[in-house]
Chains A and B, each alone.
Chain A
Amino acid sequence: MRKKWALNLPWIMMIASLLGFSFFYLVPFFVSFLYSIVDNPINREFCGLSNYKQLLQNSYFMRGLKNTALFMAVSVPLNMVLSLGVALVIRNIKSYSNYFSLIFLIPLATPSATSAFFWQNFFGLHGVLNKYLSVFHVDGIDWLNSKYGMLVMVIIFIWKNIGYNMALFLSGLSSIPEEYYECADVEGAGWGWKLKHITLVYLSPTTFLALIMTFVNSFKVFKEIYIITGEYPPDSLYVLQHYMNNMFLSLNYSKLVSATYILTATIVLFVVCIFRAERKFSDHLHY
């Protein structure tokens, strides 16, 4: 009896969570599809896939999509590499390593409005960065409203999220047995060899988790950018969430839902690819 209960308990707990998820997310998401095939939610005249077609022909939507893809392509791998680097350095620090970890975790606890205010004052035309640069006789640049806008967005994202991935990697690193490194030392292996053949191999499950979380968190940079630049940011900072937010404000739910479906399809495709890659990598892994 006790054995049966123990077997069923995870399922019971899963069902409770799944019900909540379905009720608040999954069902509304599928129901909202109806909005994407009508001209507008008030007239509700069936229009097939014309909303999707219009979206793919809309230059602003395409710009948002392109910027979002570019931002992710740059920021996600960069954040992964930097956070792993920080985790490795902190792990090798003999004393006060906890304090260093804390420093990197501070941005996570900083409210978005506060960090937005800070970055606005840092990158603004009359901001701190330009004041420093003026010492070297460099003319002031409105960083957010220039071709460097995307770079600013990447910096803000990495500043905010590096601590999170670092914590994940630190936890993954602590689970790698020290004996492997000792054995490699005895065999005369160098730092690079140990990183490639021990650290990265045994960190692969953590790396996979960190990758998914970074990908999800990359959508959250919108909050800071929105606070700094508002609904109509410079071209280089315009991401898909701007488009969706503006569609909501202008009551264009049909386009909003269509855009959501296109974005979801892209995300699902990406996540499926990561899962497949991870499975293949795990299959070929020889511990």
Chain B
Amino acid sequence: MRKRRKVFLALLVCMSCLLSACGKAGGETNIDQNTEQNQTDASEEKDIRNDIQEVQEYVQPEMKGEITISCLSENEFLSAAAKQFMDLYPDVTITINASEAGTVEEYQTYLNTRIMSGKAEDIIFNSFLPMAKYSEMGVFEDLNKYISMTPEFNDENYFMNVLQAARQDGGEIYMIPYMASFSVIGFSDGLLEGQTDIRSTLETWEKAGFSQSVNLVRQLVTETEKKNVFLIHSNELSYTNSLLGDSLEKFIDVEERKVYLDNTEYIDLLNAVKELSAQDLFGSNVSFYNEDYSFAISKDYDVQAAYYCLAQDSDQTYCMPLMDAKGNVVINANYCIALNSASGNKDLAWEFMKYLLSEDVQTLPSLHGLAVNRQGFEASVARYHTFYENNNSGIEEAEYGALLAGWMEQVNSCDLVDPVIWDLLNAENEKFFSGMQTAEQTAKNLQKQIDQYFNE
């Protein structure tokens, strides 16, 4: 009997301990009352921490040990950089764990398991991963401390706006890009012939929104007497994505976890795209490079767009970076790297991240894009200029570089929209465009699925 009583008491104590911690909701009033005070304390603490960081001097760690890197697939640039780093520091070993899994989903499953067991690699290369979610969960280290303690990181050596493009509203930087990739909008020179009003409007633009650009030239396509003119080289799905990229916040509020897709605006958007397709305005079946066809607007990637924009024999003119609804020029997050907050050797891992951004590595020919390091950028420009100049268009390297540099200076954000949201949008929109479901059904399904994703 006594034994039973003891067991009962022990259980009661355990339960009360657990339940007391459970009383978070009940303690909300206290929390609310203390929030202001806490916020003040937190901001003061942050200021003090920043001051300390400013005073703190960076001490290089002992260059010895193992750095592990996780990435979806083998990367020539990364392998070359790792080899160079190991040659430079023979006591450091770099292990690149390229996922053997074929799909992004399998890779994510693998990485999630590693993260949760505390065994994830020191450095994580993003490949369609839910980086915002990872950051929110505390998977990544805030790189502000490291960036502020690295004097080489300055405007003279780097495009700091690109390097800090992934800065969050709270100021945290959980990932940095090792190269920049962004979309550029260009307009058809032939179609703008004699359109002085539109030309003068375009001359005032430094960057362009997708819908804004379409609206500007939409009428020209239907009214022109020229043959083989399309609105854009795109299919229905990617055109819808471009429109959504332009106004995603109108339909999905990621921060508030709210979805507004089940409304007439989204249904009208889908129907409008289908109508454009029915009018044969998307040149998805013709070659982008065939000069017999012209596209009122073209959405292209940075280095190619810059070249074709300058080439005299090309139809493209008034090229400028694509901006989102907030006016941000956004880079692709798939070229970002992050430091694992649970890493046992963060300092050493940071040394390698820093090395990836150094001139030695950023000038490597295997970097297929625009380097964030200014010396590396010059090398990228030279490389791409040589590549495109096979067409003998007579474009000066300096001119080409200046155009790209101007665009690079405009970058101020990084695309952190969860890839799952895009996957859901694409899957349902595709069903609509293939005639499997109505626009209303698509909007309804998306509303339900994305809401579920946010609030599950």
Query: Hey, which bits of chain A sit against chain B, CB under 8 A?
Result: 37, 40-43, 46-50, 53, 58-61, 125-126, 142, 145, 230, 232, 235, 243, 246-251, 253
Residue contact B138 to A60, C-beta cutoff 8 Å? no
CB atoms of B139 and A46 under 8 A apart: no
Which residues of chain B come closer than 8 Å to A250, judged between CB atoms?
A: 130, 133, 453, 456
Answer yes or no: B455 CB below 8 A from chain A CBs. yes
Contact of A48 among B19, B108, B445 (CB under 8 A): B19
For A47, give its contact among B17, B22, B424, B437 (CB under 8 Å): B22
When chains A and B are docked, how far (Å) is the Cα of A60 from the Cα of B21?
24
Measured in the bound complex, the distance between the Cα atoms of B341 and A41 in whole Å is: 12
Question: Chain A contacts of B137 at CB under 8 A?
Answer: 40, 42, 251
Can you add 10 more A-B contacts, CB < 8 Å, to A145-B445, A251-B115? A42-B341, A42-B342, A48-B18, A49-B21, A49-B22, A50-B25, A126-B436, A235-B448, A248-B112, A251-B116
Shortest C-beta distance, B147 to chain A (Å), equals: 22
Nearest opposing residue in chain B for A246, CB measure: B456
Instruction: Choose from A42, A50, A232, A251 the contact partner of B453 (Cβ within 8 Å).
Output: A232
Contact A42 B138 (CB under 8 A): yes
Pair B133/A251 contact, Cβ less than 8 Å: yes
| A232 in contact with B449 (CB, 8 Å) | yes
The 6 closest A-B pairs by CB, nearest first: A48-B21, A48-B22, A232-B449, A49-B22, A42-B138, A48-B18
Residue contact A230 to B427, C-beta cutoff 8 Å:
yes
Contacts of A246 in B (CB 8 A): 453, 456
Bound Cα distance from A47 to B22, whole angstroms: 6
Q: Which of A41, A53, A59, A125 touches B22 (beta carbons < 8 Å)?
A: A53
Given A230-B427, A235-B448, A46:B21 Cβ within 8 A: yes
CB proximity of B397 to chain A, nearest CB, Å: 46
Which B residues from 1 to 47 make CB contacts under 8 A with A?
Answer: 17-25
**CB distance A251 to B24 under 8 Å?**
no
- Cross-chain contact of B19 among A49, A145, A248 (Cβ < 8 A): A49
Q: B452 an interface residue at 8 Å Cβ cutoff?
A: yes
Asked whether A243 and B456 contact (CB < 8 A) given A47-B22, A48-B20, the answer is: yes
B422 within 8 A of A: no
Closest Cβ of chain A to B53, distance in Å, is: 22
The contact of B18 among A37, A43, A247, A253, by CB within 8 Å, is: A37
The verdict on B109 contacting chain A, using a C-beta distance below 8 Å, is: yes
A212 to chain B, nearest CB (A): 30
| Residues on the A chain within 8 Å of B301, using CB | none
Give 16 CB contacts A-B under 8 Å.
Answer: A37-B21, A43-B138, A46-B21, A47-B24, A48-B17, A48-B18, A49-B19, A49-B21, A50-B21, A53-B22, A53-B25, A61-B456, A125-B436, A142-B437, A145-B445, A232-B453
For residue B134, CB closer than 8 A to chain A, the reply is yes
Interface pair A60/B19, CB less than 8 Å apart: no
Please give me the residue from chain B that is nearest to A53 by CB atom.
Answer: B22
Do residues A253 and B116 form an inter-chain contact, with CB atoms below 8 A?
Answer: yes
Q: A47-B24, A49-B18 are in contact. Are A249 and B109 (CB under 8 A)?
A: yes
Q: Which residue of B lies closest to A60 (CB)?
A: B456
Give the CA-CA distance A247 to B18 in the complex, in Å: 23
The answer to whether A249 touches B22 (Cβ under 8 A) is: no
The chain B residue with its CB closest to the CB of A63 is B452
Q: Assuming A42-B341, A49-B19, is B456 touching A247 (CB within 8 A)?
A: yes
A58 touching B456 in the complex, CB below 8 Å, given contacts A48-B19, A53-B22: yes
CB distance from A226 to the nearest CB of B (A): 12
List, in ascending order, chain A residues with CB within 8 A of B420's CB.
Answer: 249
Residue of B nearest to A57 (CB): B25
In angstroms, how far is the closest chain B Cβ from the Cβ of A43? 6
* A142 to B448 alpha-carbon distance, docked (Å): 17
Bound Cα distance A243, B342 (Å): 27
CB distance from A70 to the nearest CB of B (A): 19
A60 touches B108 (CB 8 A): no
Q: Which residue of B lies closest to A61 (CB)?
A: B456
Contact in complex: A232, B452 (CB < 8 Å): yes
Query: In the bound complex, what is the Cα–Cα distance between A251 and B136 (angstroms)?
Result: 11
Among B104-147, those with CB < 8 Å from A are 108-109, 112, 115-116, 130, 133-134, 137-139
Collect the chain B residues with CB atoms within 8 Å of residue A58's CB: 455-456
Q: How far is the CA of A230 from the CA of B436 in the complex (A)?
A: 17
Residues of A within 8 A of B134 (CB): 251
CB-nearest residue of chain A to B113:
A248
Once the chains are docked, how many angstroms separate the CA of A46 from the CA of B455?
22
Which of B22, B139, B427 contacts A50 (CB under 8 A)?
B22
Q: How far is the CA of A50 from the CA of B19 in the complex (A)?
A: 8
| Chain A nearest Cβ from B420, distance in angstroms | 8
Shortest beta-carbon distance from A187 to chain B in Å: 54
Of A48, A60, A126, A249, which contacts B112 at CB under 8 A? A249
Rounded to whole angstroms, the CA-CA distance of A43 and B139 in the bound complex is 9
- Shortest CB-to-CB span from B449 to chain A, Å, is 4
Q: Mark B423-452, 1 if CB is under 8 A from A, else 0.
A: 010010000000011000000010011001
Residue of A nearest to B24 (CB): A50
In the complex, which residue of chain B has the Cβ closest to the Cβ of A48?
B21
B21–A251 contact, CB under 8 A?
no
Contacts of B24 in A (CB 8 A): 47-48, 50
Nearest CB in chain A: distance from B440 CB, A: 13
In the complex the two chains form, what is the Cα distance from A40 to B437 in whole Å? 39
With the chains together, A59 CA to B456 CA distance in Å?
Answer: 8
Judge whether B436 and A60 touch: CB under 8 Å. no
Output the least CB separation between A127 and chain B (Å): 11
Query: Chain B: which residue is nearest A245 at the CB level?
Result: B109
Q: How far is the CB of B436 from chain A (nearest CB, A)?
A: 6
What residues on B are CB-neighbors of A251 within 8 Å?
112, 115-116, 133-134, 137, 139
Given contacts A60-B455, A251-B133, contact A47 B139 (CB under 8 A): no
Question: What residues of chain A lie closer than 8 Å to B456, measured between beta carbons?
Answer: 58, 60-61, 243, 246-247, 250
CA distance A49 to B17 in the complex (A): 10
Considering the chains assembled together, what is the distance between the CA atoms of A125 and B445 in angstroms?
Answer: 15
Bound together, the chains give a CA A145 to CA B139 distance in angstroms of 37
**Chain B residues whose C-beta falls within 8 Å of the C-beta of A126 in the assembled complex:** 436
Q: How far is the CB of A33 from chain B (nearest CB, A)?
A: 11
Bound-complex Cα distance A249 to B108 (A): 7
Chain A min CB distance to B448 (Å): 7
Question: Hey, which chain A residues are within 8 Å of B133, CB to CB?
Answer: 250-251
Bound together, the chains give a CA A243 to CA B427 distance in angstroms of 20
| Cα distance, A41 to B449, chains bound together (Å) | 26
CB neighbours (8 Å) of A142 from chain B are 437
